[in-house]
Amino acid sequence: MTGHGPRLTPLAASLPADVPFVGPEVQERDLGRAFRARIGANESAFGPSPGAIAAHGAAAAEMWKYPEATNHALRHALAEHMGAAPDQVIVGGGIDGLLGTLVRLTVTQGDAVVTSDGAYPTFNYHVTGFGGDLHKVPFRDDREDLPALMARAAETDAKLVYLSNPDNPMGSWYDGATIEAALDAIPDGTLLVLDEAYVEFAPAGTAPRIDPEDPRVIRMRTFSKAYGMAGARVGYATGARGLIRAFDKVRDHFGMARPSQEAALAALADQGWLTEVIARTDAAKARIAAIAQDAGLAPLPSATNFVAIDCGGDGRFARAVLQSLIARGVFVRMPFRPPQDRCIRIGAGLPDELDVLAAELPAALADARESSTA
């Protein structure tokens, strides 16, 4: 056999080949059994709108056709929903895909990018993949430190500064007025990447009032969370026309599956289902908080579809709790960085899943305490 394999770029050759998230399916294969409670990936256990399911099924019969590459109907519907013009909206393969395209457009070798230490890791994955220089700001009081993010962006002449609001992994949030005011501190030439994946779950007033044509910010949202369509991979962003038009330079124009386009249109039209999902999520979060308190733990306030639970120790102890829960058939996750890694993160599940959590959490805590004294 001759040849030397693919000739990767020096940057690509230097990067690890891994997947940022270990999914529940991977863990189930390792365990040799299915999870009894799948409450770790911030999915909506309540599922998508019945109308979205029907639209997806009907479109499946036409999957022989390429998708409509401009996402015309969906962009127009989203523009009306967001108070924007259609040419201020871009659709892509979830927020993850849009982040990757945005980074490709704006970041090259050595460019500074600012984010929070412990914030959504996929953003970091894209920045590193294009050679950007990540500058990380610690959380403050279990919340991304917005003033510090802006200050670091000014210090580094950052191309991008990332903020999730509400935040993953802690569930914390800023009100919209605070974000509006913070834009006045953003350096010239820096773009705020405002990830609003969970905004539908947040209190009224969390979403800022920003002119879509404001060149200082791009807002990203998704159908993966409140709309219950994580597997369909539909995200969207609003921003200034010049920036949105630039996505056409490098995006995957056939990256959105036709059934996903049709399902997203139907989901957006069914705001009644969205209201029901939010109510059921709120009820599940209240029960998670009660389960945690009954076990002697402290739930943190949350504006998302999950609750971060302070396990009362350090990251090692929280990780022991998590591993015991996984061994007992309860899929949960935890923050990556201290001091937030003292917590585990539990998603709003179905009542029977939360029954399993209530039964297994005290035993998992006992396991962790025993291992910490061994």
CATH number of the domain to which 163 belongs: 3.40.640.10
32-55 residue pLDDT tens: 999 999 999 999 999 999 999 999
Residues 98 and 174 in one domain: yes
* Residue 154 vs residues 158, 187, 188, 254: alpha-carbon distances, Å: 7, 6, 9, 37
Last residue of a domain, one of 251, 269, 287: 269
Residues 311 and 342 in one domain: yes
206-262 residue pLDDT tens: 999 999 999 999 999 999 999 999 999 999 999 999 999 999 999 999 999 999 999
Residues 155 and 290 in one domain: no
5-20 residue pLDDT tens: 888 999 999 998 877 6
Residues 305 and 225 in one domain: no
Residues 255 and 292 in one domain: no
Farthest CA pair distance, the chain: 65
- How does DSSP assign 274-287, residue by residue? HHHHHHHHHHHHHH
Query: CA–CA separation, 119 vs 138, rounded Å?
Result: 9
Task: Identify the residue whose tokens are 């891994």.
Answer: 18
Residue 14 within any structural domain of the chain:
no
Residues 162 and 200 in one domain: yes
pLDDT at 18: 77
Go through the chain and tell me how many residues it has: 374
Residues 158 and 220 in one domain: yes
Residues 193 and 205 in one domain: yes
Please state whether beta strands 112-116 and 160-164 pair in parallel, antiparallel, or not at all (unpaired). parallel
Domain extent, residue 249, equals: 51-269
pLDDT at 1: 58
The tally of domains found in the chain comes to: 2
Query: CA–CA separation, 141 vs 14, rounded Å?
Result: 35
Residue 285 within any structural domain of the chain:
yes
Report which residue type is found at 354: L
Residue 3 structure tokens: 């040849």
